[in-house]
Structure 1
Amino acid sequence: MKLADMLSYADIGQLSRIATTYQCECNGNSKNELIQSILSTVNRREVFEAQIGALKLEDLRFMNSLLFDARDAFSLEELIARVQQSKFASPGSQNEAPADTRTDEAASAASPVKKTAAKSSAAKRTGKSKPAKERPEPESGPRETISRFKQYGWLFNGYAGPERYLFQVPSDLKERFKQSMERRLASEVEYTDDEPHAYRDEQMLMGEDIVHLLTFIHLNEVPLTSEGMMYKRTILQLLELFGVKEPLPGKGEWRFGYGRKIKEYPNRFSLLYDYCFYQGWIAEHNELLELTPAGKERQALRTAEGTDKLYQFWLRLYKGPIPNIRSLAHWIDKLGSRWVRAETIMRTLTPYVKPFFYDQSETILEQRLIGMMMHLGLLRIGEHAEHGQVIRMTPLGRTVVAGLSLDDEAIVLNS
């Protein structure tokens, strides 16, 4: 639903709190006047931009996590968890489950919103909604953050049945948030109008290498170690057939979380292998790697796998270690609409990337996101004489990233 629809279902108490937040001058006893005054104020670009500009980084991360979720509604517990995940500086609190699971009504009663509600009640007695003398003070804690977003009119409860305990973001505000965030992020990066002297483009190569992998397994007996991995000689033979050559992982290198075989195989190779395993095309049996009946049918087609399917799999597979991977891919796409300095992309987006164990934010953004998007054929990485490393989305990449709707669940590949 849009903001106007959600306001019409909201009770007069919440409308009064929102009106007070935006310093609206109107009759506090008239629901219609409150709604019209709120819409008139919120729809002013300078007011909306000022609200976004005043948000802390943790609040921006929290809102960013809601904008790209396929679901429309969230429970209070889910929102609390997302607020906690947005505070990178305190990992201990991020991993703790909320001990209190009261309903939103109880949360509101325990928050400083009570004071605002009291002011609104007083305003009703006088027939006017008094403008707030100053912006509400920023509050800390997950419940306070949620209450503050309700005061801004950015989160609303359902109005009936079980949905009354779920929260939604107005659909039209979602688009305005995305546009505002895009302008904010785009102002922090540096573009170049001329082409780099050389660039790397891997469009369609990964899809073709799926065919090479299946054909190799079809034509050869592929032995596996007792741990279920291919021998080094076999891996090197396959890498010679692939469109992209990768170095083997170093001994003792920290590798887990990004797929079933990321520990043993190079990043791109691992993604290809895991994709075929997830599709049910290959099976590890009696220390041999073999094609399944479905794999033999797929191999006989000898057609490249679609980039959109590989992209969808990559997003879902990496969703565990990178919960907001979909939003990050979206921002890389938007910021990479033309050649942009990679260094400025890194500086701009790193604050939105949460570290994953020993993988720092910079490493995740550079290797797990930008690097893998290049392997998927979604973007090009070039070298510019003046600006150094630059990146740009490919036409195929822009189409794929813009047109995909994904399931919410992350993929877990068990041994």
Structure 2
Amino acid sequence: MKLADMLSYADIGQLSRIATTYQCECNGNSKHELIQSILSTVNRRDVFEAQIGALKLEDLRFMNSLLFDARDAFSLEELVARVQLSRFGSPAGQQASSGAAPSANESAPAAKKPAAKSQASGKRPAKSKTSAKDRPEPETGPRETISRFKQYGWLFNGYAGPERYLFQVPSDLKERFKQSLERRLIAGAVYADDEPHAYRDEQMLMGDDVAQLLTYIHLNEVALTTEGTMYKRSVMQLLELFGVKEPLPGKGEWRFGYGRKIKEYPNRLSLLYDYCYYKGWIVEQNEVLELSPAGKERQALRSAEPPDKLYQFWLRLYRGPIPNIRSLVYWIDKLGNKWVKIDTVLSTLKPYVKPFYYDQPETILEQRLIGMMLHLGLLRIGEHAEFGQVLRMTPLGRTIVAGQSLDDEAIVLNG
């Protein structure tokens, strides 16, 4: 539902609190006037932008997590957990940075900014019935954040049945939040006016290499170690057949969380192997890697795997260590609508990336996101004479990211 619909279902107490937050001047006893005054104020771009600009970084992370969730409604427990997950490594009161910082004229919360006067004379700002003296001290922690978002009119309870215990974000506000965050993030990026002198593009190569992997297993007896891993000779032969050559993981290198075989195989090969395993095309038994009956049928086709299927699998597989991967891919897509300096993409998105054990935000952005998006054919990476490394989304990548519908659950490969 849109904001206007949710306001119409809200009780007059919540409407009064929202109107007080925005300092709306109207008859606080008239539900119709409260709704009209709230809508006219919230729909003003300067007021909305000022509210976003006054948010702490952890609040922006929290909102960002709600914008890209496939579900429409959340329980209080889910919202509390999301607020807690949004508080990684940022001191209390830290303002949004790297493209998310408020501009000079947006430094104060919108609640303190004077709202437009009502055309009707003699009307006062809507007030709650409880005086400031009698009000309880505001809660601190996740519940205070949720309460504040309700007072902004950004979260609403359902109005009937079991849904009254669930919270929703108005659908039209979701789009406005995305547009506002996009403007702020793009403001922190540096773009090139011309093409780089060289760039790397791997469109369709990963899909071809799915067929190469299955054909190699079909034509060779691939022995496995007691730990179920291909021997180095087989790995090197496979890498020679692939469209992209990868170095083997270094000894003692920390590798965990991004699939079953990420510890033993290079990133791209690991994804290909796990994809075929998840599809049920390959089986590991008696220390031999073989094709299943379904794998033999797929190998006989000798066709490339559709890139959107590989993209969907990658997002779901990496969602465990990178819970907000969908939003990060979305923002990389928006930042990469033309050639953009990679360093500025990293600095802009780094505040939104939570470390995963020894993987720091820079590593996650460079290797787990941008590097894998290159392998999937979603973006190009170039060398520019003035700006150094730059990236740009491919037409295929923009189409896939814009149109892909994904399951919400992460993939966990055991065994």
TM-score, normalisation: structure 1: 0.89
The aligned counterpart of 1:81 is 81
Distance 2:139 2:54 in 1: 13
Distance 1:335 1:412 in 2: 30
Q: Is the 8 A contact 2:340 2:390 kept in 1?
A: yes
- Residue identity in the other structure for 1:360: Q
The aligned counterpart of 1:178 is 178
Deviations 1:238-289 (A, max 9, x none): 0000000001111111100000110110000000000000001000011010
The aligned counterpart of 1:366 is 366
- Residue identity in the other structure for 1:222: V
Alignment of 1:38-117 (within 5 A): 38-89=38-89
State the shift of 1:129 in Å. Answer: 3.9
The aligned counterpart of 1:201 is 201
Distance 1:368 1:26 in 2: 52
Unaligned runs of 5+ in 1: 92-125
State the shift of 1:130 in Å. Answer: 3.8
The aligned counterpart of 2:106 is none
Matched, 1:190 2:186: no
The aligned counterpart of 1:94 is none
Shift in CA distance, 194/63, structure 1 to aligned 2, threshold 3 Å: same
State the shift of 1:89 in Å. Answer: 1.9
Distance 1:388 1:139 in 2: 48
State the shift of 1:127 in Å. Answer: 8.3
SS of equivalent residue, structure 2 residue 180: helix
Deviations 1:194-229 (A, max 9, x none): 000000000000000000000000111111000000
The aligned counterpart of 1:329 is 329
The aligned counterpart of 1:320 is 320
Task: Report the number of matched residues.
Answer: 378
State the shift of 1:193 in Å. Answer: 1.4
Matched, 1:349 2:383: no
Shift in CA distance, 331/138, structure 1 to aligned 2, threshold 3 Å: farther
Q: Is the 8 A contact 1:262 1:270 kept in 2?
A: yes
CA RMSD of aligned residues (A): 1.7
SS of equivalent residue, structure 1 residue 283: strand
SS of equivalent residue, structure 2 residue 193: coil
Distance 2:29 2:198 in 1: 66
Shift in CA distance, 131/14, structure 1 to aligned 2, threshold 3 Å: closer
Q: Is the 8 A contact 1:223 1:230 kept in 2?
A: yes
Deviations 1:341-371 (A, max 9, x none): 0000000000000000000011001100000
Distance 1:138 1:272 in 2: 51
Deviations 1:143-201 (A, max 9, x none): 00000000000000011111111100000000000000000000000001100000000
Deviations 1:92-135 (A, max 9, x none): xxxxxxxxxxxxxxxxxxxxxxxxxxxxxxxxxx9854479xxx
Q: Is the 8 A contact 1:80 1:142 kept in 2?
A: yes
Q: Is the 8 A contact 2:283 2:290 kept in 1?
A: yes
Unaligned runs of 5+ in 2: 92-121, 129-136
State the shift of 1:139 in Å. Answer: 7.0
Distance 1:128 1:7 in 2: 20
State the shift of 1:406 in Å. Answer: 0.8
Q: Is the 8 A contact 2:191 2:338 kept in 1?
A: yes
Q: Is the 8 A contact 1:16 1:129 kept in 2?
A: no
Distance 2:35 2:380 in 1: 48
The aligned counterpart of 2:399 is 399
Query: Identity of aligned pairs, percent?
Result: 84
Distance 2:56 2:388 in 1: 32
TM-score, normalisation: structure 2: 0.89
SS of equivalent residue, structure 1 residue 167: strand
Q: Is the 8 A contact 1:182 1:331 kept in 2?
A: yes
Deviations 1:57-105 (A, max 9, x none): 00000000000000000011111111001111279xxxxxxxxxxxxxx
